[in-house]
Amino acid sequence: MDSEAPGNSIKGIDAVLAADVEADVSTDRVIADYTSYGIGGPGKLWVAPKTEAAVGRLLKHIHTARLPLFVLGGGTNVLISDRGWNGAVLLIADNLSGWHFKDSQVAVQAGTLLMDLVQATVDRGLAGLESMAGIPGTVGGALRMNAGAFGQEIGTATVAVSGFHRNGDPFITTGADIDFGYRSAPELENVVITSATLRFRQDRTKPLQRRVDEILSRRAARQPLEYPSCGSVFKRPPGDYAGRLIEAAGLKGTRIGGAEVSTKHAGYIVNTDRATACDVYRLIDRIRAVVSERFGVQLETEVKIIGDFSSDCTVG
Ligand SMILES: Cc1cc2nc3c(=O)[nH]c(=O)nc-3n(C[C@H](O)[C@H](O)[C@H](O)COP(=O)(O)OP(=O)(O)OC[C@H]3O[C@@H](n4cnc5c(N)ncnc54)[C@H](O)[C@@H]3O)c2cc1C
């Protein structure tokens, strides 16, 4: 869980950051509006850089002020506390997006929507990401999570990743030096990704587009896309599926407040009716306890739990 260090003030630092012409800076912006769950309190300081150079500059100020930092991409794999984030939220989304193809490689900015990139590769007859059609969020978030589906992961296509360390120093690494694992990329855990180079195989648009269409309809049939969610809440335990265990434990349809274990896919917790972060958090706890008791399996969350859940969210 990412949580803030206590006692850091934004007084003064907001004005310093706002003076940077290559960034939009504001205070107390509601993070819920930037997440697929539609959940989350205010971000004390909201920083949306428009260039990669600005990211480095802003990070130096944030680091010097010792403000807790949270990097937000598309907000599709996060559960943000109802209390929000008592520090700086650095947005890397459409404010920092775009790509440039050269032969079978692309240089892409981290805030680009993965779905847009997938379609652009397919349109060019480039294979490697087509099975990831339908995964929401940004390229930066996908790299950090090593997002994947139906046998493909973004890590496999990654040639290089660049960005900044949290202190604002530049960061660059090759894909081969990242130990990409199942929904993990340890070398990317504490950096801010601003761009990447990905490599593809030459193929033909028609079969790739057919694969995309097939995957999108499979997703629509199996996943509760009609409700706000973060996708699969839990990682797959070895040799099994979280959804299967949750369903077998009789938890499908279980509700806490406005949060519900999806009746369509038990691996999802959906926000059916103005769920709070606490509702989802408590439901996660309930699921983990019941699955552990019934099957002896400790489910690990895939969703990143961000901010303070300690004082107002104790499990009842
Ligand atoms: C309906 C639905 C279906 C989904 N299906 C899948 C699926 O099939 N496969 C799959 O893998 N995932 C799936 N997901 C989860 C999610 O879409 C992916 O994990 C996605 O890659 C997260 O990207 P994001 O930009 O939204 O990241 P965010 O949710 O914004 O952030 C996720 C993590 O990445 C970090 N991060 C984000 N951007 C950066 C950056 N630029 N630099 C450094 N760190 C960064 C954040 O700090 C956070 O720790 C699904 C989600 C939904 C809602």
| Mutate which of 72, 81, 135, 156 for ligand 1 pocket (most atoms within 8 A of beta carbon) | 135
When pLDDT is cut at 50, 70 and 90, the band that residue 106 belongs to is very high
Q: Which residues contact 92 (CB under 8 A, 6 or more apart)?
A: 49, 55, 71, 72, 73, 110, 111, 138, 140, 192, 193, 194
Q: Would you put residue 125 in left (φ > 0), alpha (ψ -120 to 50) or beta?
A: left
Q: Would you put residue 47 in left (φ > 0), alpha (ψ -120 to 50) or beta?
A: beta
When pLDDT is cut at 50, 70 and 90, the band that residue 308 belongs to is very high
Structure confidence by residue, pLDDT tens digits, 151-162: 999 999 999 999
- Output the CATH code of domain 224-316: 3.90.78.10
Ligand 1 centroid distance, CA of 263 (Å): 23
Residue 283's closest CA among 263, 311, 243, 253? Answer: 253
Catalytic residue among 81, 97, 131, 232: 232
Query: Which pTM value belongs to this model?
Result: 0.96
Instruction: Name the CATH code of domain 97-207 (choices 3.40.109.10, 3.30.360.10, 3.40.47.10, 3.30.465.10).
Output: 3.30.465.10
Ligand 1 centroid distance, CA of 142 (Å): 5
Q: Would you put residue 168 in left (φ > 0), alpha (ψ -120 to 50) or beta?
A: left
Catalytic site includes residue 302: yes
- Assigned token pair, 177: 């030096």
Instruction: Judge if the beta carbon of residue 158 lies within 6 A of ligand 1.
Output: no
Domain boundaries, the chain: 13-94, 97-207, 224-316
CATH class of 13-94: alpha beta
Catalytic site includes residue 232: yes
Q: What is the pLDDT of the chain when averaged over all its residues?
A: 95
What residues are paired with 127 via a beta bridge? 201
Instruction: Judge if the beta carbon of residue 147 lies within 6 A of ligand 1.
Output: yes
Structure confidence by residue, pLDDT tens digits, 17-58: 888 889 999 999 999 999 999 999 999 999 999 999 999 999
> Higher-confidence residue: 7 or 158?
158
